[in-house]
Structure 1
Amino acid sequence: MEKRVLLTENIEKDGIEYLEKMGYEVKVARGTSEDILVEEVRDCDAMLVRMANITAKVIQAGCKLKVISKFGVGVDNIDVEEATKQGIQVTNSAESNNNTVAEYTIGLILALSKKFFLYDHELRKGNFGIRNSLGIDLKEKVIGIIGAGSIGKLVAKKAVLGFGMKVIELKRHKDFEPEDGIKYTYDIEYLLKNSDFVSLHVPLTEETSKLIGEKEISIMKPEAFLINTARGGVVDNEALVNALLNNKIAGAAVDVYEGEIPSKDNPLFKLDNVIVTPHTAAHTIEGMQRMSVHPAIGIHEVLSGKRPSWPVNDVEEMKK
């Protein structure tokens, strides 16, 4: 019997074509509410998830479900603990957008340092004198990277090799190899105090929720910038707004928000010293293609009895 894959939302045709080539029936859910997904998942062997919330109730309704695969990297919208209890493998697209997000991060750093958005906004109003508001060079500036995983490491490499910047990486473990141009620390306060740019690349967990709050921002240099392309919940939005309003830091670039879609009255949108973008760090043509194909590969690996290339949980360990 043909195995069925449920897409909670549509994806690029590359991923769908891969699944169909491998012999799967693909269906797109009628909606993303919990009640609809509970009904849609009942006859499916796999789910490919974008932004829909995959709750315990949805997972428990998946009588045939063997794998939940994420379009993208962050799985905070999937109840991984419940999936593991049910013996369901969770996979993601861990390598699909590393370089894409790293490039975007460097772009935000350039935009902040050179004041591109401010110049554009003011010149359109006829303010040619805005040219006297000076930007800064990146050479010799220090970028502090919190979350030295695959994306963080690429940001560090591009910053050092491309712009002659210095890097401080926050390390939670001691099993690492020293790299040229990079200084390591286990002390987040040291990183915040000594960085001209602080870039966040951590997943949203209990440990990282509100990781950057009023105390942490107060440690940063007044001329420093904060860049968040990780998850909205990693930063205390109110603390960031207050810091930007009172010039406690020079500026920020924010691509992610609590609850995914920000409210229209988010106070960040009223500030001139912050760049806001709609969670688009991974949204390039190439990135979206990879984020469609990689979770499809994960589904095929699991359903064909292979160990997935990008596992999130360890189902086999739970069975022991």
Structure 2
Amino acid sequence: MSYKVLITEDIDKEGKDYLKKFGYEIKIAENIREETLIKEVKDCDAILVRMALITAKIMEAGIKLKVISKFGVGVDNIDVKEATKRGIRVTNSPESNKNTVAEYTMGLIISLAKKLFLYDRELRKGNFNIRENLSMDLEGKVLGIIGAGSIGKLVATKASKGFGMKVIEFKRNINELEESEYIEITDDLEYVFKHSDFISLHVPLTESTKNLIGEREFSLMKPEAFLINTARGEVVNNNALVEALLNNKIAGAAIDVYEGEVPSEDNPIFKLENVIVTPHTAAHTEEAMKRMSLHPAIGIQEILSGKDVSWPVN
């Protein structure tokens, strides 16, 4: 039986070649506006989605729709509750970019600790004496990890085993066997913020994590501590972050994600010199892009062929 897959935004050829190998017909969406996807999904059995919003109206129009598969990890752009109600399976690709994001996170932590961006900027101005503004060692410093999933655990491993950092993982359900010489597990969020030199966020965007980090959390942090966000922009209250940075309540931040995905040009975060900003690129390596294209294609094939699903969401 021939199936048709709607790809909302183009992907690497690995994913498309995989689908074609099984005889799937591929349709690339003209754009990601809801009205466009409503028209284009009508004869499709599956959607492979990157950042497009997959709404109830799109699912309603997809009269043949059986599976929605996510390029990447976060499924906050998919109405999973509606999909479940309609019997539409949702899959994602949690194994595709976890090491890539973990490496990027460590790069941001190193850049903050070693003041790489400050040194680069000032030396280009002729300020050789900026070297007197001393950086810090990571060994012995405390890294607080909010979100001890696959990426958070990899960051913990790299930080503790690679750099000799002490790690505190925030986790709601604690298994004491998970603790080690370098890694402490706690269900006390306040404790993490009070005792960490770096806080790294790795939680998905849900109703419970939206604005999880705000004025109160920043007030608990050490004035010499840093925040790193490679999770989702909406997890952090942007106004509270700006206020904390402007008033030196924290030493700095590294931000890869923003509310609404694409940040507004007048976002005050861009005017601050104690912040590293990057355009949601933590997972954007050549290798990860290939995996993120292939893995959702695998999810589609598994569901439509009746096999066990490697990365189920619902």
Three-state SS of the structure 2 residue aligned to 1:134 is coil
* Cross-structure match for 1:193: 194
- Give the whole-Å Cα distance in 2 for the aligned partners of 1:207 and 1:176: 24
* Cross-structure match for 1:210: 211
**Alignment gaps of 5+ in structure 1:** 314-320
Q: What is the Cα deviation at residue 211 of structure 1?
A: 0.5
* Cross-structure match for 1:318: none
* Cross-structure match for 2:150: 150
Equivalence map 1:261-280=2 (5 Å): 261-280=262-281
* Cross-structure match for 1:134: 134
* Cross-structure match for 1:80: 80
Residues paired across the two proteins, number: 313
Deviations 1:93-137 (CA, angstroms, capped at 9, x unpaired): 011111000000000000000010111111111111211111100
Equivalent AA in structure 2 for residue 94 of structure 1: P
- Give the whole-Å Cα distance in 1 for the aligned partners of 2:207 and 2:27: 34
Q: What value does the CA root-mean-square deviation take over the aligned residues?
A: 0.8
Deviations 1:252-281 (CA, angstroms, capped at 9, x unpaired): 000000000000111110111000000000
* Cross-structure match for 1:316: none
Match status 1:62 vs 2:58: no
Moved over 2 A (4+): 174-180
Three-state SS of the structure 2 residue aligned to 1:17 is helix
Match status 1:305 vs 2:306: yes
Match status 1:50 vs 2:50: yes
* Cross-structure match for 1:317: none
Deviations 1:217-236 (CA, angstroms, capped at 9, x unpaired): 10000000000000000000
- Give the whole-Å Cα distance in 2 for the aligned partners of 1:299 and 1:208: 28
Equivalence map 1:1-320=2 (5 Å): 1-175=1-175, 177=177, 178-313=179-314
Deviations 1:192-227 (CA, angstroms, capped at 9, x unpaired): 000000000000111001110000010000000000
Calculate the TM-score normalised by the size of structure 1.
0.97
Kept in 1, the 8 Å contact 2:302–2:308? The answer is yes
Q: What is the Cα deviation at residue 144 of structure 1?
A: 0.3
Deviations 1:62-103 (CA, angstroms, capped at 9, x unpaired): 100000000000000001111111100000001111100000
Deviations 1:273-312 (CA, angstroms, capped at 9, x unpaired): 0000000000001111000000000000000011211011
Calculate the TM-score normalised by the size of structure 2.
0.98
**Alignment gaps of 5+ in structure 2:** none
- Give the whole-Å Cα distance in 2 for the aligned partners of 1:192 and 1:59: 41
Q: What is the Cα deviation at residue 176 of structure 1?
A: 5.3
Identity of aligned residues (%): 71
Equivalent AA in structure 1 for residue 135 of structure 2: G
C-alpha distance 80-200 of structure 1, shift in aligned 2 (>3 A): same
Q: What is the Cα deviation at residue 179 of structure 1?
A: 2.7
- Give the whole-Å Cα distance in 2 for the aligned partners of 1:179 and 1:55: 43
- Give the whole-Å Cα distance in 2 for the aligned partners of 1:61 and 1:112: 48
Three-state SS of the structure 1 residue aligned to 2:47 is strand
